[in-house]
Amino acid sequence: MKRALLAGFQAGVLAGILACLGFAATAQDEVESADGAVLRGLDKVNGQTVDIELRSGGTTAVFGLEVALADCRYPADNPTGDAFAFLTIREKNKPEIWFEGWMIASAPALSALDHARYDVWVLRCTTS
């Protein structure tokens, strides 16, 4: 129940943020779900980065984290346009969720992972 309320709240916040940034959805501005996403991970201790391609519904390891991608969406009229992805991120083999919600490729700081050592953000959706 708490998670459902949080996801609903985050979706409302995301819509408000997108509207403030000029991404207000209209009938002409439809989005489509992609097959997956390309994410970038950063180990803040040693400066190492890695790019990962992840299919929707999949989970992968990014350094010491497990990242699950529920969905990646993009503007229907511009597949290479701004992506936003719903991610769930936790440390490996631990139940605590560090991040769950929508991340926006063009504004990763608006909804970011708050972890002392690692960072993960969305680069783009993949359509094939």
Alpha helices by DSSP H, the chain = 2-20
pTM of this structure: 0.74
82-113 confidence digits (pLDDT tens): 899 999 999 999 999 999 999 999 887 888 89
The Cα–Cα gap between 28 and 51 comes to 32
Higher pLDDT, 2 or 80: 80
- Domain residue spans of the chain: 31-126
